[in-house]
């Protein structure tokens, strides 16, 4: 049986989680400067005291909201990865997930949004997005390196180059696609990356 203190802690944890889940799309839509603690108070229905009990500053809340948004994005973008037969199939799966679910949360990709928002400012957010980007690139490069080891991908291919090209093409296409209100740029990006995968695959060589 839960004691009163444990129930209070559990309730606090749930409220904290609810604040993060409510704040994440607001920050993702409007950016750090465009979202105030007042906006979050209104969206959550909490009083000032209730909000500040959990987050002492907007920076702290924005960091937590970014972590949550990123974890959602990673989950969606790596879906089905374990079932993909081989490295090229895994890269294709990641591209397909991105093109089919480009906005894991209202406002687009949290990495792209926060990168543009934080590249000249907010240092806590900047550190988090640099880490998020590096983790994503490391995952992609590891798939390529694995493909090289298994001779599925040509030995001359640089994993970092493939990772940079994939992230750049997908994030850039998402920017275009959101501006144009059209999927065309994302589909064109998919076509370009499919062509890249065909060129790095060992079998296309011989």
Q: Tell the smallest beta-carbon distance from residue 97 to a second copy (Å).
A: 17
* Angle of helix 4-30 versus helix 110-118 axis, rounded to 10: 70
- Among candidates 193, 99, 206, 109, which has minimal Cα distance to 151? 206
Q: Give the residue, chosen from 15, 16, 22, 29, that forms a contact with a second copy under the rule CB under 8 A.
A: 29
Q: Please identify, using beta-carbon distances, which residue of 64 and 171 lies nearer to a second copy.
A: 171
Two tokens, residue 54: 């959990």
Is residue 185 a contact residue for a second copy (CB under 8 A)?
yes
Is residue 43 a contact residue for a second copy (CB under 8 A)?
no
- Among candidates 56, 57, 55, which has minimal Cα distance to 20? 55
**Distance between CA 3 and CA 95 in Å, rounded?**
48
Q: Please identify, using beta-carbon distances, which residue of 71 and 192 lies nearer to a second copy.
A: 192
Is residue 173 a contact residue for a second copy (CB under 8 A)?
yes
**Are the C-beta atoms of residues 17 and 67 closer than 8 Å to each other?**
no
**Distance between CA 105 and CA 72 in Å, rounded?**
8
Q: Tell the smallest beta-carbon distance from residue 166 to a second copy (Å).
A: 9
Is residue 117 a contact residue for a second copy (CB under 8 A)?
yes
**Are the C-beta atoms of residues 71 and 110 closer than 8 Å to each other?**
no
First vs last Cα of the chain: how many Å apart?
68
SS (H, E, C) 22-45: HHHHHHHHHCCCCCCHHHHHHHHC
Where in 140-169 is the site for a second copy (CB under 8 A)?
A: 160-161, 164-165, 167-169
Q: Give the residue, chosen from 31, 71, 81, 92, that forms a contact with a second copy under the rule CB under 8 A.
A: 31
What is the x/- site pattern for a second copy, positions 75-114, by CB under 8 A? Answer: -------------------------------xxx---xx-
Q: Which residues bind a second copy (CB under 8 A)?
A: 29-34, 106-108, 112-113, 115-117, 119-121, 126, 129-130, 133, 160-161, 164-165, 167-173, 175-176, 178-180, 184-185, 188-189, 191-192, 195-196, 199
């Amino acid at each position: 049986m839960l004691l009163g203190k444990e129930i209070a802690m559990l309730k606090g944890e749930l409220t904290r989680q609810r604040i993060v889940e409510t704040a994440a799309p607001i920050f993702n839509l409007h950016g750090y400067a465009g979202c105030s603690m007042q906006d979050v108070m209104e969206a959550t229905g909490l009083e000032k005291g209730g909000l500040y009990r959990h987050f002492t500053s907007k920076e702290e809340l924005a960091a937590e909201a970014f972590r949550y948004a990123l974890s959602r994005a990673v989950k969606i973008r790596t879906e089905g990865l374990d079932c993909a037969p081989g490295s090229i199939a895994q890269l294709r799966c990641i591209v397909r997930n991105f093109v089919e679910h480009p906005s894991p949360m209202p406002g687009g990709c949290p990495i792209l949004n926060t990168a543009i928002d934080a590249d000249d400012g907010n240092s806590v957010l900047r550190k988090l997005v640099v880490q998020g980007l590096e983790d994503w690139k490391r995952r992609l490069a590891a798939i390529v390196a694995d493909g090289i080891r298994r001779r599925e991908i040509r030995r001359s291919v640089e994993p970092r180059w493939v990772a940079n090209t994939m992230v750049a093409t997908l994030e850039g296409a998402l920017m275009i696609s959101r501006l144009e209100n059209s999927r065309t740029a994302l589909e064109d990006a998919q076509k370009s990356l499919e062509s890249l995968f065909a060129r790095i695959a060992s079998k296309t060589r011989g």
